[in-house]
């Protein structure tokens, strides 16, 4: 078992943020048995931090180890797998790695055409549920069909198969304004489970301060300027200096992923709408 | 060549050519000249050509969604380009995922019919459906603007732009002129490709450059001495070429009993004065800010009873709905009536500014009426209603010379057709025609 304590040099502000997350985790571990809890780990900075505080809380309280799920959405950076290996080496935890093999084996590469009729009945049913009626789709985990099949369906299958009741994810309030209504615990249906968001209160700056002070492994792409990691083909770097040295407060974390809000506001403003 | 004509049997189809923000009166004016829109002035002799009314409020995201769904905002849920996140004063931007009613192409997908939709506003991000789509304004990311994704390499190859850089267009007339023609060419390139490669029943192509030109240079249409008058006319000649091309293909490839529709989503007129509704509300004591120089309405402060969102939506700051809500449920009606009177009485140098003040119940019906603004204003022509909060005076001017109007949008339909009065009336006609 990974025996981890918060290093002495950790600053008070990081400590306060970590304690707040630990309150959420203790509440979670009180409410659900360990084998009904899974943390969804992407290998990104946020869910790795959430994982670390999860392990810290388990270790401090000598609790049984809950599950850790890594979803391979089919277009993962090699550097993400590197950090998964490093974390596993360092902690000795067991990680369940799942992917939608049915789709990946048939696609064979990004934007390759996948024939719906050749897929498993589960995948066909999920595609029908989306209202998608074409005989083929182009494989891309960041398209709406792709995202559903490669991430949501994999997660839902894991929940159903393992009887999971609580899923931990690493949403943060400052990530994008759409997140601001999120709460630490929120219930989901189909399948029924509780979503738990223990690091909601962390800012991007605080994630980096905590990661570095606590000695948490992180993906090398951040050092090369990436701020937020999606798929290999859908993510660009926005700078060539390490993420934590960038002007985090005045630039967009997800800029390399989608030019979203800022671009919309600029266009609307030019037509006199803001 | 489409498969259907290959076998000598042409399909009954519907073709819609949208010209964003083109007023009926501008087209009748241009049709009086011989050489600006030679094709269109001949076309309108065969068929119904008349003014129609836009949505309320009269902006593209609402009006085109009325067009696409055939239902009002109380049923589809889109009231503007901006909204607040639930329970907060943080902006969010309603998009295609916020539309709560089925669109034409979704309904047709269910009937196993294919549609091609190019540059229709308020369709971003694209959702999977039976057909092909390149979404229109506002589409911040090309990768999420295209369905199916297999079209992306082609679009990237031709450097397709969903919209020009509007900030640059506002300040640089040469860029505006070049970008207008470039985007028009790109729409046509995409239309040419999808017209033949897809086997469709509904084809919608929207030109949005007209709206951009009007926002920035509507004055150039009216004054022959305007330095950009000739450019304005040159763009309309290019639009006429596009109409001629689309109609030519329509005649060639569609069954003779097919429907050809042209429309705009709102009218346009010249701006006399911009009218800053939040400044008016602040001066009358209905609105306060949390900081001395607010940049957006997100800086609303304690003690506020009402605020405005673009273009002319007035919301009561209700308790329970907003963090700084001041107005209890039983006070809402009295305040609504009080505001209605106050706003209707705005004058500018003795001239009345507001033509109509509507309550939500007069305009909207359906499950999403609760999310509606409490009042929506329609101004007299020339008074451009804005929710901008940065002005100390209620009246002002900006670089924008054109403003939307609710009346004076246009419609053209071939043959004898069902009378259309409003953009909302097309969807049932199209669905009925393709049943």
Query: CB distance A274–B87 less than 8 Å?
Result: no
Closest Cβ–Cβ partner in A145, A180, A272 for B128: A145
Task: Grade residue A45 by pLDDT with cuts at 50, 70 and 90.
Answer: very high
When pLDDT is cut at 50, 70 and 90, the band that residue B223 belongs to is confident
From CA A39, how far away is CA A21, in angstroms rounded? 14
Tens digits of residue pLDDT in A202-214: 999 999 999 999 9
Task: State the best of B59, B80, B148 to mutate against chain A, taking most chain A CBs within 10 Å.
Answer: B148
Which of these, B351, B400, B339, lies nearest to B379 by C-alpha position? Answer: B351
Per the listing, tokens 């050749």 go with: A118
Average pLDDT of chain A is 84
Model pLDDT for residues B349-408, shown as the tens digit of each residue: 999 999 999 999 999 999 899 999 999 999 999 999 999 999 999 999 998 999 999 999
A143–B88: do the CB atoms touch at under 8 Å?
no
Which residue carries 């600006």 as its tokens?
B36
pLDDT at A198: 96
Q: Residue A191: is the preceding peptide bond cis (ω within 30°)?
A: yes
Q: Using a CB–CB cutoff of 8 Å, tell me whether B323 touches chain A.
A: no
**Confidence (pTM):** 0.67
Nearest CA to B141 out of B102, B106, B95 is that of B95
pLDDT at B213 over 80: yes
Provide the shortest C-alpha distance from residue A217 to chain B (in Å): 32
Provide ipTM, 2 decimals. 0.83
Task: Give the pLDDT score at B389.
Answer: 94
Q: Which residues are bridge partners to A30 per DSSP? A: none
Task: Report the pLDDT value the prediction gives residue B85, as an integer from 0 to 100.
Answer: 83
Q: Within an 8 Å CB–CB cutoff, is residue B125 touching chain A?
A: yes
C-alpha B435/C-alpha B429 separation (Å) is: 10
What percent of chain A stands above pLDDT 90?
41
Q: What percent of chain A has pLDDT over 70?
A: 84
Q: What is the pLDDT of residue B404?
A: 97
Grouping H, G, I as helix, E, B as strand and the rest as coil, residue B370 is helix
* B252 within 8 A of B242, measured Cβ to Cβ: no
Contacts with A166 (C-beta within 8 Å, 6 or more apart), sequence order: A28, A31, A32, A36, A37, A38, A193, A194, A195, A196
Q: Please spell the DSSP secondary structure of A232-268, one letter per residue.
A: TTT---S-SS-GGGS-TTTS-TTTTT--HHHHHHHHH
Across B133-138, average pLDDT: 95
Helix (H) or strand (E) holding B167, with range, is: helix B166-171
Interface of A with B in 216-245 (CB under 8 A): 234
**Is A112 an interface residue toward B (CB < 8 Å)?**
no
B386 closest CB neighbour out of A113, A131, A272: A272
pLDDT higher than threshold 90 for residue A115: no
List the one residue out of B387, B435, B123 whose CA is nearest residue B281: B387
Q: What is the pLDDT of residue A176?
A: 66
Residue of A nearest to B313 (CA): A273
Which chain B residues are closer than 8 Å to A144 by Cβ?
125, 127-128
**Do the chains contact at A264 and B93, CB–CB below 8 Å?**
yes
- Reported as a single tens digit per residue, the pLDDT across B305-341 is 999 999 999 999 999 889 999 999 999 999 999 999 9
Residue A262 pLDDT greater than 80, yes or no:
no
Question: What is the structure's pLDDT at B1?
Answer: 42
Q: Does B98 touch chain A (CB under 8 A)?
A: no
- A-contacting residues of B 6-45, CB under 8 Å? none
Average pLDDT in the B283-311 region? 94
Question: What mean pLDDT, rounded, does chain B reach?
Answer: 93
User: Is a pLDDT exceeding 90 seen at residue A144?
Assistant: no
Q: Pick from A113, A133, A263: which is nearest to B109 by CB?
A: A133
Provide the pLDDT for residue B2.
47
Residue A220 has pLDDT above 50, yes or no: yes
Q: Which residues of B touch A234 (CB under 8 A)?
A: 143
d(CA B125, CA B136): 9
Q: So what's the pLDDT on residue A259?
A: 46
- pLDDT value, residue A235: 63
Q: What is the pLDDT of residues B396-431, one digit of tens each?
A: 999 899 999 999 999 999 976 678 999 999 999 999
* List of chain A residues whose C-beta atoms are within 8 Å of the C-beta of residue B152: 111
Contact A138 B144 (CB under 8 A): no
Q: What is the pLDDT of residue A240?
A: 64
Say if residue A246's pLDDT is above 90: no
Which has the minimum average pLDDT: A143-152, B101-110, B247-256, B265-274?
A143-152
pLDDT confidence band for B5 (50 / 70 / 90): very low
């Amino acid at each position: 078992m990974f025996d981890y304590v918060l290093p002495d040099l950790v600053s008070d502000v990081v400590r306060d943020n970590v304690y707040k997350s630990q309150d959420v985790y203790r509440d979670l571990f009180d409410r659900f048995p360990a084998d009904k809890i899974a943390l969804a780990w992407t290998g990104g900075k946020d869910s790795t931090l959430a994982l670390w505080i999860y392990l810290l809380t388990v270790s401090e309280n000598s609790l049984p180890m809950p599950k850790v799920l890594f979803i391979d959405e089919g277009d993962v950076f090699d550097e993400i797998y590197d950090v998964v290996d490093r974390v596993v080496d360092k902690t000795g935890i067991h990680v369940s790695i799942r992917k939608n093999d049915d789709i990946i084996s048939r696609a064979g590469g990004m934007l390759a055409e996948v024939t719906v009729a050749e897929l498993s009945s589960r995948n066909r049913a999920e595609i029908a549920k989306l209202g998608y009626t074409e005989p083929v789709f182009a494989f891309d985990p960041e398209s709406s069909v792709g995202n559903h099949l490669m991430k949501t369906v994999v997660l839902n299958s894991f929940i159903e198969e393992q009887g999971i009741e609580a899923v931990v994810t690493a949403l943060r309030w400052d990530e994008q304004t759409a997140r601001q209504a999120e709460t630490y615990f929120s219930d989901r249906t189909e399948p029924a489970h509780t979503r738990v968001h223990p690091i909601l209160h962390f800012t991007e700056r605080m994630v980096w301060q905590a990661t570095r002070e606590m000695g948490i492994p992180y993906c090398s792409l951040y050092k090369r300027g990436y701020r937020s990691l999606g798929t290999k083909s859908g993510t660009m770097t926005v700078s060539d200096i390490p993420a934590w040295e960038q002007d985090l407060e005045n630039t967009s974390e997800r800029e390399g992923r989608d030019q979203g809000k800022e671009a919309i506001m600029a266009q609307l403003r030019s037509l006199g709408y803001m | 060549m489409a498969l259907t004509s290959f076998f000598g049997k042409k399909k009954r189809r519907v073709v819609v050519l949208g010209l964003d923000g083109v007023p009926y009166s501008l087209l009748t004016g241009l049709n009086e000249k011989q050489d600006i829109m030679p094709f269109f002035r001949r076309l309108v002799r065969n068929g119904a050509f008349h003014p129609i009314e836009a949505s309320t409020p009269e902006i593209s995201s609402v009006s085109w969604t009325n067009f696409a769904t055939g239902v009002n905002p109380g049923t589809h849920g889109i009231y503007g380009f901006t909204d607040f996140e639930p329970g907060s004063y943080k902006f969010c931007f309603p998009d295609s995922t916020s539309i709560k009613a089925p669109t034409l192409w979704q309904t047709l997908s269910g009937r196993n019919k294919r549609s091609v939709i190019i540059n229709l506003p308020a369709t971003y991000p694209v959702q999977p459906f039976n057909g092909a789509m390149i979404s229109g304004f506002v589409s911040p990311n090309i990768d999420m603007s295209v369905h199916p994704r297999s079209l992306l390499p082609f679009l990237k190859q031709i450097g397709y732009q969903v919209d020009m850089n509007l900030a640059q267009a506002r300040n640089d007339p040469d860029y505006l002129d070049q970008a207008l023609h470039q985007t028009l060419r790109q729409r046509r390139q995409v239309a040419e490709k999808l017209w033949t490669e897809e086997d469709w029943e509904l084809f919608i192509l929207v030109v949005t450059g007209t709206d951009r030109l009007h926002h920035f240079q509507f004055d150039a249409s009216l004054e022959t001495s305007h330095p950009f008058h000739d450019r304005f006319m040159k763009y309309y000649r290019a639009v006429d070429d596009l109409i001629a091309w689309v109609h030519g293909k329509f005649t060639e490839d569609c069954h003779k009993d097919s429907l050809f529709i042209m429309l705009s989503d709102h009218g346009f007129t010249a701006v006399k004065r911009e009218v800053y509704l939040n400044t008016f509300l602040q001066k009358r004591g209905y609105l306060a800010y949390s900081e001395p120089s607010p940049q957006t309405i997100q800086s609303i402060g304690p003690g506020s009873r009402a605020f405005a969102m673009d273009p002319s939506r007035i919301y009561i700051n209700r308790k329970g709905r907003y963090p700084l809500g001041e107005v209890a449920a039983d006070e809402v009606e009295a305040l609504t009536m009080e505001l209605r009177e106050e706003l209707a009485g705005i004058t500018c140098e003795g001239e009345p500014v507001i033509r109509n003040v509507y309550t939500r119940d007069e305009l909207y019906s359906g499950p999403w009426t609760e999310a509606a603004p409490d009042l929506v204003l329609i101004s007299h022509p020339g008074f451009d209603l804005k929710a901008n909060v940065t002005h100390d005076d209620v009246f002002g001017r900006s670089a924008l010379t054109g403003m939307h109007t609710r009346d004076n949008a246009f419609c053209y339909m071939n043959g004898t057709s069902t009378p259309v009065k409003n953009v909302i009336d097309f969807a049932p006609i199209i669905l009925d025609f393709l049943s």
